[in-house]
């Protein structure tokens, strides 16, 4: 509805996993102008407290050069389920149609959608997980943003059963590169790709041009260390750069304002902070979000 005014008890700004879990638990409306779901290869730790939100964290084994490891369910499965439940409960009022989100001096949130329409939002409490998604917050102190970078490469190697490599665990030291993930190709089922995870500050990322040749050299060093080999008929290990995705973690300090909270907790911290009172409310038969989820669960409580 054009220029309709919505009124919620609490509004959450963000679309990462932490913000989705928080909105689901607290029955809050979720606003975002871009989706940032977990990657397909990301899993919860085996001891992640999913039981706090009445999900089962089924443990499975994955192979790595540093031995078999136990990990929980894929993060994106929970993310999609919770976002779906919030949507059916009417708690994602603009869904993925928001183009910009702004808060004015009076505290009213104005959302412009992609079809030049708009909506106004009133609230008693505003919780901001991703400040980059809303304009109008006053910055008290600027700081260098932290960045997580994912570089994707096509590869051709001999067959192996590794899911990922933790560089620290195999004794490879690098200031920025932390992990290498082996994933299926997005275009061919019989082809593999790797995703290189590295950590930077925004300043480092701008000042340092990570040479593609240098990066490929490091990948070959890592593969040699863990025993991933080129194919017999190839002269060398095949690596072809695909793309890069950069995720910025805002670390600015914002001016305090009544009823507005900047929340930078991880998904683990959000789950661990759930009080007994909130958990009891979430488990109530009247909790619409929980009832929706039970329709899509197996008999053992697993997401299906």
Contact 239, 154 (CB under 8 A): yes
Cβ neighbors of 54 (< 8 A, separation 6 or more) are: 282, 283, 290, 293, 301
> Hey, how many other C-beta atoms are within 10 angstroms of the C-beta on 297?
15
Between CA 119 and CA 47 the distance in angstroms is: 41
Q: What is the chain's pLDDT, residue by residue, as a tens digit (304 residues)?
A: 456 789 999 999 999 999 999 999 999 999 999 999 999 999 999 999 998 888 889 999 999 999 999 999 999 999 999 999 999 889 999 999 999 999 998 889 999 987 768 899 999 999 999 999 999 999 999 888 889 999 999 999 998 999 999 999 999 999 899 999 999 887 776 678 999 999 998 888 877 666 778 888 999 999 999 999 988 888 888 899 999 999 988 889 999 998 999 999 999 999 999 877 666 666 665 565 665 665 555 545 555 4
Domains 4-141+253-294 and 146-248 share a fold: no
Element of type H or E holding 44: strand 43-45
Between CA 95 and CA 118 the distance in angstroms is: 13
> Hey, how many other C-beta atoms are within 10 angstroms of the C-beta on 237?
18
CATH class for the region spanning 146-248: alpha beta
Q: What is the CATH number of domain 4-141+253-294?
A: 3.50.50
Strands 4-13 and 29-31: parallel
Q: Where are the domains of the chain?
A: 4-141+253-294, 146-248
* Selection from 35, 126, 138 nearest residue 84 by Cα: 35
pTM: 0.89
> Hey, how many other C-beta atoms are within 10 angstroms of the C-beta on 61?
10
Q: What is the SS3 assignment for 303? A: strand
* Selection from 138, 98, 131 nearest residue 257 by Cα: 138
């Amino acid at each position: 509805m054009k220029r309709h005014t919505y009124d919620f008890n609490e509004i959450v700004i963000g679309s990462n996993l932490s913000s989705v879990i928080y909105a689901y638990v607290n029955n809050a409306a979720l606003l975002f102008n871009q989706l940032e779901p977990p990657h397909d290869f990301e899993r919860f730790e085996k001891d992640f407290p999913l039981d706090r939100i009445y999900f089962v964290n089924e443990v499975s084994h994955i192979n790595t050069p540093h031995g078999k490891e136990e990990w929980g369910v894929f993060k994106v499965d929970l993310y999609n389920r919770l976002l779906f439940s919030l949507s059916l409960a009417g708690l994602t009022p603009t869904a993925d149609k928001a183009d910009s989100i702004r808060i004015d001096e009076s505290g009213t949130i104005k959302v412009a959608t992609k079809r030049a329409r708009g909506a106004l939002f009133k609230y008693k409490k505003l919780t901001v997980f991703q400040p980059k998604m809303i304009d109008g917050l006053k910055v008290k102190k600027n700081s260098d943003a932290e960045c997580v970078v994912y570089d994707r490469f096509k590869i051709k190697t001999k067959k192996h059963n590794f899911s990922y490599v933790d560089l620290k665990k195999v004794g490879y030291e690098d200031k920025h590169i932390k992990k290498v993930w082996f994933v299926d190709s997005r275009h061919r089922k019989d082809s593999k790709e790797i995703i290189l995870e590295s950590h930077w500050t925004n300043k480092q990322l701008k000042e340092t041009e990570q040479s593609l040749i240098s990066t490929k050299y490091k990948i070959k060093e890592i593969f040699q260390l863990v025993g991933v080999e080129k194919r017999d008929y190839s002269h060398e290990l095949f690596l072809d750069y695909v793309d890069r995705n950069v995720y910025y973690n805002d670390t600015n300090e914002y001016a305090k304002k009544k009823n507005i909270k900047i929340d930078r907790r991880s998904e683990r911290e959000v789950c661990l902070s759930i009080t007994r009172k909130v958990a009891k409310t979430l488990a109530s038969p009247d909790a619409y979000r929980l009832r929706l989820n039970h329709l899509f669960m197996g008999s053992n409580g697993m997401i299906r």
